[in-house]
Amino acid sequence: MYTLETLAAINSGYLAEHFIIRAADIEKVNALIVEIERKRDMQERQPTPTDGDIVICERATGEIIASSGHLENASWAGGMMVCIHPFNAPFIFPMTASHASGGPWIMADLEKMEYIGKQLKTFCTWSTMGARKNGALDFQAEVNVWKMVEQTRPVSALERATIEAQRQEAQRRNATEQCSDGSWW
């Protein structure tokens, strides 16, 4: 659990802008950690891929593409998605709903994910000052780690549409997230 000193030690950017970490911030962060870790502890006998977990993405050849992919609930897409290269720490909200930025994103085939173990992961949440520039506090919690081998199954229409939307967004920004071999990994 975090104290004022330990939370301040990993949030120097926040302190440089806002000068204070309140007791309510420490309570909020510690409550989120309890919620994140309790959810996974309840699965100790039978771990289940959970929003916020880490995903190691691997090609069928064994080449590791990403060692810190982010698993996120995507109920709008009918399942869970993996952000292969998340940007910074994902936000986490009460009830352990997380949100990462980055990409590319792919649908997670939960049936084929292999449980590897547990690892500390950095998350962030808005301080009690609310959403503002440099207003998020970083903290770490232990999550499950999964390995997912590149999917060789047919891609659904929804996945194709998602991938195409990502490709168009990348082109719009004059950046390509697609690998030289044409894959999204």
Residue at token pair 């997230």: 177
As a whole number, mean pLDDT of residues 40-53 equals: 86
Identify the pLDDT of residue 109.
87
Taking 50 as the threshold, does the pLDDT of residue 181 lie above it? no
Q: Tens digits of per-residue pLDDT, 61-119?
A: 889 999 999 999 887 777 899 999 998 899 998 776 899 998 888 888 888 899 999 99
Identify the pLDDT of residue 156.
66
The answer to whether 40 touches 85, Cβ cutoff 8 Å, is no
How many domains does the structure of the chain reveal? 1
Would residue 177 count as lying in a domain?
no
State which residues form the domain around 75: 4-172
Q: Structure tokens of 63?
A: 């080449």
Would residue 135 count as lying in a domain?
yes
Identify the pLDDT of residue 178.
41
Residues in the chain: 185
Task: Tell me how far the alpha carbon of residue 183 is from its chain's centroid.
Answer: 21
Angle formed at CA 10 by CA 4 and CA 15, multiple of 5 degrees:
70
Distances (CA, A) of 47 to 34, 39, 40, 72, 156: 17, 10, 7, 16, 27
- List b or e across 12-41, with b for residues whose CB sees 16 or more CB atoms inside 10 angstroms: eebeeebeebeeebbebbeebbeebeebbe
What is the maximal distance between C-alpha atoms in the chain?
Answer: 52
Would residue 63 count as lying in a domain?
yes
- Reported as type and span, the H/E element at residue 79 is strand 79-83
As a whole number, mean pLDDT of residues 52-63 equals: 92
Would residue 52 count as lying in a domain?
yes
Give the predicted TM-score (pTM) of the model: 0.78
Identify the pLDDT of residue 61.
86
Q: Tens digits of per-residue pLDDT, 130-174?
A: 888 888 999 999 999 999 998 655 456 676 677 667 656 655 554
Q: Structure tokens of 167?
A: 């490709």
Taking 70 as the threshold, does the pLDDT of residue 48 lie above it? yes
Peptide bond preceding 104 in cis form (omega within 30 of 0):
yes
